[in-house]
């Protein structure tokens, strides 16, 4: 369970103060699929970074699984990021010199899992995303869609309950993007909480509900049948 209470994120740039997030309060139950929309600079990625424990609120409270994130020390935060949260980025963030199998296994290296177990689990996870035949290929030898599926395999190898995806189809063609979204839907259907930042109403329509941000504030919450009308709605933001 994610609970955000009056979360602000402020940056000081000389004499100028930038409020990247303002008064964000939102509960997100386990297993929910939430899309985050809004124009560039609205605070979408900042919100995702705070939920992912990559950044901290300037003020306000963030609870993850009943724990106050502000009370965690650096080692505890690292453990949360490694075991509780999976990150998926628009630019994949794969290590170029490592094979697909090695990229997927990387979190297990940091977790101290023995090599034989790492290989077994990485192969099984690549098989789940349909890429076992490409296990020995490096990122430069893979298509964009294949890279993103490797990134999803890496994000899920530690069995996190929370997946955070920042424009996961932004660099993909329509067919590859659809494959990635179907995979994310499947993971959400297996019980993982899924937060997706997107500019694309077609991506957001897959969510249970949508948070629309503008100037760091949640200006609209879209649920149920309203989600199907996101193209018109997003045009208004």
pLDDT tens per residue, range 49-100: 999 999 999 999 999 999 999 999 999 999 999 999 999 999 999 999 999 9
| pLDDT tens per residue, range 38-57 | 999 999 999 999 999 999 99
**Residue pLDDT tens, the chain, 237 long:** 999 999 999 998 888 889 999 999 999 999 999 999 999 999 999 999 999 999 999 999 999 999 999 999 999 999 999 999 999 999 999 999 999 999 999 999 999 999 999 999 999 999 999 999 999 999 999 999 999 999 999 999 999 999 999 999 998 999 999 999 999 999 999 999 999 999 999 999 999 999 999 999 999 999 866 766 665 555 544
pLDDT of amino acid 237? 42
Strand partners, 220: 212
Whole-angstrom distance, CA of residue 213 vs CA of residue 228: 18
pLDDT of amino acid 166? 96
Strand partners, 12: 17
Let me know if residue 30 belongs to a domain. Answer: no
* Enclosing domain of residue 125: 94-148
Let me know if residue 133 belongs to a domain. Answer: yes
**Number of domains comprising the chain:** 1
Let me know if residue 124 belongs to a domain. Answer: yes
Residues 6+ apart with CB under 8 A from 168: 88, 89, 90, 148, 152, 180, 181, 184, 196, 198
Let me know if residue 142 belongs to a domain. Answer: yes
Let me know if residue 140 belongs to a domain. Answer: yes
Let me know if residue 57 belongs to a domain. Answer: no
Let me know if residue 107 belongs to a domain. Answer: yes
DSSP type of residue 132: G
Cα radius of gyration (the chain): 18
Residue with token string 């809004």: 38
Q: Is the pTM of this model over 0.75?
A: yes
Let me know if residue 114 belongs to a domain. Answer: yes
Handedness of CA 108, 84, 22, 11 (dihedral sign): negative
């Amino acid at each position: 369970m994610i609970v955000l209470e009056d979360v602000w994120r402020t940056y000081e740039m000389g004499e100028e103060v930038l409020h990247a997030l303002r008064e964000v309060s939102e509960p997100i139950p386990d297993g929910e699929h939430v899309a985050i929309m809004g124009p560039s600079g609205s605070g979408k990625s900042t919100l995702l970074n705070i939920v992912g424990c990559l950044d901290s609120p300037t003020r306000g409270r963030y609870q993850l699984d009943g724990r106050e994130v502000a009370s965690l020390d650096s080692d505890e935060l690292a453990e949360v990021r490694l075991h509780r949260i999976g990150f998926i980025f628009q630019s994949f963030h794969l290590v170029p010199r490592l094979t697909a199998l090695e990229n997927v296994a990387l979190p297990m290296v940091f977790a101290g899992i023995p090599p034989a177990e790492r290989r077994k689990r990485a192969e099984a996870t690549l098989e789940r995303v349909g890429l076992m035949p490409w296990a020995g290929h490096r990122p430069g030898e893979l298509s964009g869609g294949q890279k993103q599926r490797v990134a999803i395999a890496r994000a899920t190898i530690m069995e996190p309950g929370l997946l955070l995806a920042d424009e996961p189809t932004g660099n993909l063609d329509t067919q590859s993007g659809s494959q990635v979204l179907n995979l994310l839907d499947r993971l959400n259907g297996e019980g993982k909480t899924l937060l997706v930042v997107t500019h694309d109403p077609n991506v957001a329509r897959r969510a249970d509900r949508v948070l629309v941000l503008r100037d760091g504030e949640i200006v609209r919450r879209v649920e149920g049948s309203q989600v199907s009308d996101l193209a018109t709605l997003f045009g208004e933001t």
